[in-house]
Amino acid sequence: MSRIRNAIKKPMARSATTNGTAVLPNVDGRSIWVRRLSDLMALITHDLGGEDAISEMERGLIQRIATQQVAIEKLEASFAQDGAADDKQLDLHQRLSNTLRRNQEALGLKRRSKDITPTLDAYLARQA
């Protein structure tokens, strides 16, 4: 029990990453790739039902998946700009893609729909 109490600290005692104010520690969040990483993490979290629907372990896996996706996108941008890719880059792309797929399977990545059916009261209020 004391381990749990120690882990749940006041916001000022937690890291910026834990508080959600930084994507990665000591990394400027304004770069295009960190912004993309943050966007992907938010989109995947949304697909899984939102912040309240995921565990801390899922949150970590979401960050790994988003990081791998960004790395793949950076490689693909390089391929497009250079007009070609060498064997080493293609091998890295393939390994990242396979790891990404396995991590997505581990997360059970699927869109979880939210029930947006209005209540009877809400429906009647809109009709009036």
- Tens of pLDDT, residue by residue over 29-87, are 788 999 999 999 999 999 888 999 999 999 999 999 999 999 999 999 999 999 999 99
Give the global pTM.
0.72
Instruction: Write the single-letter amino acid at 77.
Output: A
Match 């600290």 to its residue by tokens: 9
- Tens of pLDDT, residue by residue over 96-119, are 999 999 999 999 866 556 677 788
Query: Is the pLDDT assigned to residue 18 strictly greater than 80?
Result: no
